[in-house]
Structure 1
């Protein structure tokens, strides 16, 4: 075969093969295109399925969130209802003038079995006047009273940018037999000012160990006076309180109020201290003497549930603030005034055993200066004391919040500057000591 023939043969084959290859290639491209379209369709279908599943999951999560919100709201409402039901109600009442007020008080029964003690027919402390040994001693007596039952009213009303606040509180411990209505507190409070009757700024009960006895024990003071008081706050921990007070001293002719000052400071969350001072003119006829006194009190929480309290006084010439003292001032035959002077201290520890039970151990002591002129100026030496002391232990039980019961044992003695004398012969008919030996009990319903 020659070259020409080969060339023609190749050209013929090429002409014959090319359409076939083109058709085959076209068919392959069409198949590939159809396969790609099929894969794309499958991918799109799968993507739509996944999107739908995701949409369903989001919807389910949204439903869970809404359900949780409902549950949280129900829980919050339930907690609020419990808190409202457990909190003590504080009803707001209004007077005709628009002042808001709350009523409170208690019904209180006190009883005392007196092994040895005072002559007054009441179940409260009379340590400074208990009969001396061998002279009209009062033994084995039961006494009770509801005279310490209390009724109070707290109120407030807006005046300018502040509220004027006040309190009125009464009980039935007035009069000689302690069964007459008397004012305990009656005052108005506006800003830093207080006007009215409340606890003395000098003889405060804050640092007295707890007692059942409504009149407290040796070294304590439960004095309420009419006063004008101003408080200056230096810091959240420190303030100074100054006051002009009427101590209601019936032994003198009063022309000026007593001036008192009290500095309070909180050293830590568990330690409070108070330093106090007092000055007051004592006037008998035309003679005058200045009475004065200082006091220091402290309250210390040793550990949660265990609290120590202590209160100390040194006073000269006054018997109107601290309880159970000798007469503050006496006149000599020539008219000169002689002043009594004393130191007193009261300490105690209170232990909380549970939410329902707590108790206190306490001790009080009072010592009077042995001034021969003062003693000589007093006709009956058995009525003035050289020293007094009392020790007590009590336990309080509160089975439910409105109710409280207490039991207390107290023992104390007084030593007089002289024995009791026979009125006719002027001979001693007693010793110089008297005894206070009692068991006290109390039941209180608070409202």
Structure 2
């Protein structure tokens, strides 16, 4: 059998293992090793060793554990409750005030954890009971929580951005800077939808006074509560991102200082104890191991795919299609969208990027711009039914009265908002490429 045919067969073989219930990392590693045996014979063991060694020596990936640890400590320090209460003080009286509070808190939590899924669970556990008590409809609750949770993909310091930078050999600082404007527009679009819906269909949201904990509170008291609840965490995030963007520290150094700062904040909020530390370190160990195992499996898979001539096959198909630059970008994004249905984001990046990068280079596509489009597309697939990983996270924390149909209905308007932002970034690349040139002077 020709090598190029074997390269194509690697994908159905991997999907078959996934459908049989095997883990993604295991499926990638097994398929890569078995097909590698055809290419390298017994020397496939040397190739596997080289992949493991290369992964272990990637300096950029050393930023993953401290970023995860920072998020885990902040998650357990009570920051979510404080942010929720602070934001509600200021927007509680607006139409859809509690839903607006949830979305703004999700954006802030995404900036502290960088972990997809963790954001949704954190805000859902707090917001769902509060919104139900005030009479919010289940579809609006579900859509708000799922869309807010998806912001963990876009808002720096997202782990998605760090892994992408490692695989595509891009600057982490530039990706962080590039994600700021699209992420802000995304949040603004979500807030606009919630506000408009709350005005147009008043029964969907409760009386505004009931959602205003700051009613009758003096301005000075509000400012003090905001200062105590918001400033420490915001200062930590700005310090971490600022040192990376300005080249003062590498991502690993900044993340390590961020983890130390999170410990200080936990002590400040009187949440620092041995059980909390043990849980945070165990979670960090589990998530880091999962990500790195998938990185090894994905790297092995992609290296064998290239060795069998898979990249040449893809390039030939693309050239034969003659789609033009815009058509190629649309095709690659569609592949990312479909892959996001069945694979974790890290698997999508590790499988697709080694194939995409040579094609993007051939068509002179700006890698930062395409990265932002990819993040938005991954975020959209995270929300889109019927697979919708966000729905599976929500089902784990949702009350019995919230149906799957309500969850699906709730996310559709937010998907439309994401597609709107995707179109904006596609039509106006400067939304993704301007800030990196202005802010980034280092890593």
TM-score, structure 1 as length reference:
0.20
Greater strand fraction, Structure 1 or Structure 2: 1
Question: Relative contact order: is structure 1 or structure 2 higher (C-alpha 8 Å, sep ≥ 6)?
Answer: 2
TM-score, structure 2 as length reference:
0.20
